[in-house]
Chain A
Amino acid sequence: MSVLVPLPVAVSLLGAAVSLALHGRVRLQRALGLAVCIVATGTAVALLTIVQREGVVATQAGGWPAPFGITLVVDGFAAIMVTISTLMLLGCLVYAFGQLDAERERLYFHPVYLVLQAGVCLSFLTGDLFNLFVAFEVMLIASYVLLVLGGSQEQVGSGMTYVVINLLASTLFVSGVGLVYAATGSVNMADLVGRLAELPPNLRGGLGLLFLVVFGVKAALFPLFFWLPDSYPAAPTAVAAVFAGLLTKVGVYAVMRTQTLLFPGDGGPSTLILGVAGATMFVGVLGAIAQSDIKRILSFHIISQIGYMIMGLGLYTLAGLAAGIFYIVHHIVVKTALFLVAGLVERAEGTDALGRLGGFARRAPLVGALFMLPALSLAGLPPLSGFVAKLALVREGLALDRVVIVGVGLLVSLFTLFSMTKVWQRVFWGMGPSPEAVPPGARHGQATAPIAGGSRVRPPATMLGATAALVALSLVIAATAGPLYTITERAAADMLDTTDYLRAVLGG
Chain B
Amino acid sequence: MNGDTPVNSPLPADIRAAAPHALEIRGVEKSFGRFPALKSVSLQAHDKEFLALLGPSGSGKTTLLRVLAGLEKPDAGEVRFAGEDFLALPVRRRRVGMVFQHYALFRHMTVAQNIAFGLTVRPRRDRPGRSEIADRVAALLKLVQLEDLGKRFPSQLSGGQRQRVALARALAIEPRMLLLDEPFGALDAQVRRELRRWLRDLHDAAGVTTVFVTHDQEEALDLADRVAIMKDGELIQVGAPNEVYENPADPFVYDFLGAACRLPGTVTDGRLAVADWETKAPKGAPQGPVDVYFRPDEVTFAPADGAGLAGEVRAVAQRGPDTRVDCVIEGRTFELEARGPTLPAGVAPGLSLRVKPLRPRVYPVQP
A binds B: no
B: residues with CB less than 8 A from A are: none
